[in-house]
Amino acid sequence: MSGHDRYRPPAWLRGPHAQTIWPAVAAPAPRVAMRRERWTTPDGDFIDVDFAKPEQPREDAPLLVLFHGLEGGSGSHYARVLMAAAVQRGWHGAVPHFRGCSGELNRAPRAYHSGDSDEIDWILRRFAATRPPAAPLLAAGVSLGANALLKWLGERGDAASFVSAAVGISPPQDLAAGAQALSRGFNRVYMDNFLRTLKRKSLAKLAQHPGLFDRERMLASRDFFGFDDAVTAPMHGFASCHDYWARSSCRQFLGGVRVPTLVINALNDPFLPAGALAAATEVSRFVQLDYPGEGGHVGFLGGGFPGRFDWLPQRVLGFLAAHLPTATGPAGRDQPGGTARADPETPTGAHAHG
C-alpha cells in the first residue's frame, strides 16, 4: 500500500466520534437514481433490492453488490457514495436490503443479524445466476453487512470464488467486544439511536407474530446485551446473546477466505476496540488488512470543510478493480489479496499486531 493510499483525516475533523458522526449526518453525499426490485426469499418472505446503473450500461460490466450496516439501506451515506462511484466507473451497482430494512416490515417470524451468511449466499448466487457469464461479480459490506459477508467468504472458501473480489468496511470482527464498547460512555449515543428503531420494529414484529419473544424484556433492554439476548438470539436460533456473538463474529473465519478480500478497520473506531481486530497471522493469504490509525466507524472523510468522500470509494473500488478478471487475469484461488498490513505510523502497542 503506497503512501497516498493511506487514510489521513482532515485537520478540522478530529477524534473518533467526529469522524463517525459528521460523515453520516452532515457531509454532502451524492444522490443516485435507483430502481427497486422485490425478491422472494427461499422461505417465502421478501427483500427489496435497489439497482443503480451507468448512463450507457454494458451488460458485461462488473456488478458491485453492497450489503449495508445495522438499520441502514440504499439511502445511507456510504451506499450513496459507493454506488455513485461504481456508476461513474461504468459498473452496475446493487444494494440488497436486509429483511425489514427497505421501509416495509418483512413477513416472516425473523429479522436479520450479523451472522446471517446463508442470506448472503442466496443473494449473491441469485445475482450470479442472472448475470452474463463474462460479467464479474464483486461484493462489499459495511459494518454488520461486512461481518456477514466476511463470515460467508470464510465459511465457503473456494465455493465463494464466483465472486471476483470483496471488501469489508468497518466490520465488527468481534461482536462481543463491540457490544461491550457500545455500552459505555459517549457510545451510548449510538446505542440509544440503534435501539430506538430496533424496538419500534420489534413491536411491529410482535404484532405480526405474537409471542415470538419476550416483549417486556425487549422494551427493558438498554444495550445489545439485553436486546440481542431478548430478541435477536431467540428469533434466529441462538441460545443467548453470547452464543450469537461467538458463532457470528467474522474474525474467526478470516483464515478460510479464498477470494481476494480487503478488510478496512480504523484503529479508533468507537464501535470496536483495536485490540479486537484480527492480526495478520490469523487471516489467509487472500486477505489484505488495512487498519488506518483514524477514520472512525465508516467515516474516512477527506478534504476541506464540510468534507469529501474521496478516500473510501477510491480505496474500495481501486482494490476491486485490481482483481477484476479482465484487469489481472482470472480472479479467485490463484490471486491472493495481498499481504496483511496496518498503518506503519500507528504507535507501538496501539494494535494487537503493531
pLDDT digits (tens, 9 = 90+) for 143-173: 999 999 999 999 999 999 999 999 999 999 9
pLDDT digits (tens, 9 = 90+) for 273-319: 999 999 999 999 999 999 999 999 999 999 999 999 999 999 999 99
The pLDDT score that the predictor gives to residue 339 is: 41
List the domain boundaries for the chain: 3-172+251-342, 175-248
Active-site residue, selected from the candidate residues 297, 323, 343, 351: 297
297 an active-site residue? Answer: yes
Q: How many angstroms separate the CA atoms of 309 and 295, rounded?
A: 12
242 an active-site residue? Answer: no
Task: Name the average pLDDT for the chain.
Answer: 92
143 an active-site residue? Answer: yes
Decide if pLDDT at 340 tops 50.
no
Mean pLDDT along residues 85-90: 97
In the chain, % of residues over pLDDT 70: 91
Confidence grade of residue 5 (pLDDT, cut at 50, 70, 90): confident
Residue 205 φ then ψ, to 5°: -65, -35
pTM strictly above 0.85: yes
The pLDDT score that the predictor gives to residue 25 is: 95
Confidence grade of residue 337 (pLDDT, cut at 50, 70, 90): low
Residue 331 carries which side chain, given as an amino acid letter?
A: A
Spatial neighbors of 347 by CB under 8 A, at least 6 apart, are: none
In the chain, % of residues over pLDDT 90: 88
Superfamily assignment of 3-172+251-342 in CATH? Alpha/Beta hydrolase fold, catalytic domain (3.40.50.1820)
Active-site residue, selected from the candidate residues 48, 269, 290, 343: 269
pLDDT digits (tens, 9 = 90+) for 246-275: 999 999 999 999 999 999 999 999 999 999
Active-site residue, selected from the candidate residues 102, 143, 161, 221: 143
Decide if pLDDT at 347 tops 80.
no
The pLDDT score that the predictor gives to residue 326 is: 59
